[in-house]
Chains A and B, each alone.
Chain A
Amino acid sequence: DAMVIQNPRYQVTQFGKPVTLSCSQTLNHNVMYWYQQKSSQAPKLLFHYYDKDFNNEADTPDNFQSRRPNTSFCFLDIRSPGLGDAAMYLCATSRGILGGANEQYFGPGTRLTVT
């Protein structure tokens, strides 16, 4: 089945130690997104890629970076995690058809713990 895969599902990192979260997709979608979701809150968009074009949200901290080396893969790098960065990180994809209803397909998420 075509899907969005996130690895690892659970990640523990130390305060200030860089960490990378991975997302891959077999849907061949143009757009990939990274969201941060804290407990009992809606997902918050960090950034997205439309093909190779990177789009950062205005309030995304500089501590968060992303890479998309090819259509299938996208990475979230947190350069110096703080305790406030502990959250569920969700990757999503969409077709990116202009004028279309571009529903997003979500991966299972990576739960990040910062110690």
Chain B
Amino acid sequence: AQSVTQLDSHVSVSEGTPVLLRCNYSSSYSPSLFWYVQHPNKGLQLLLKYTSAATLVKGINGFEAEFKKSETSFHLTKPSAHMSDAAEYFCVVSEWRGNEKLTFGTGTRLTIIP
């Protein structure tokens, strides 16, 4: 069985400072991992994905995430926060064996302080 734990329900950072959103996963198989972002009253947009290639994954809008198997982590980072980054972020796991289901974390709300 697969599961995802997002360690912070709410993160606040000042504009221009680094962002770190933490995610730990559990999977019986080689997982695929994703980060999605959701702005208010909008659908989910894929930020980046890990698929067993490079462990450091670069996504859109300057975000990146590093897959660390030994720590079962997939933390999302950005060097410098922008006001437009304020949103809900979901860490998601899917197992490669053809299971079409995604398992979502509970989400982290990112607030940017001007």
Mark A residues whose CB is within 8 Å of B.
4, 6, 31, 40-43, 45, 48, 50, 55, 88, 90, 92, 94, 96, 98-109, 111
Contact = CB atoms under 8 A, between A and B. Distances in A.
Given A43-B44, A108-B42, A111-B41, A103 B34 contact: yes
26 contacts: A4-B43, A42-B90, A42-B107, A43-B44, A43-B90, A50-B100, A55-B100, A90-B43, A94-B100, A98-B98, A99-B97, A99-B98, A100-B96, A101-B32, A101-B50, A101-B51, A101-B94, A103-B32, A104-B44, A104-B46, A104-B102, A106-B43, A106-B45, A107-B43, A109-B41, A109-B42
Question: Size class of B's contact patch?
Answer: 20 to 34
Interface in B18-64: 32, 34, 36, 41-46, 49-51
Contacts, number: 60
B77 interface: no
Contacts of B104: 42-43
Contact of A90 (B34, B44, B94): B44
Interface of B: 32, 34, 36, 41-46, 49-51, 90, 94, 96-98, 100-102, 104-107
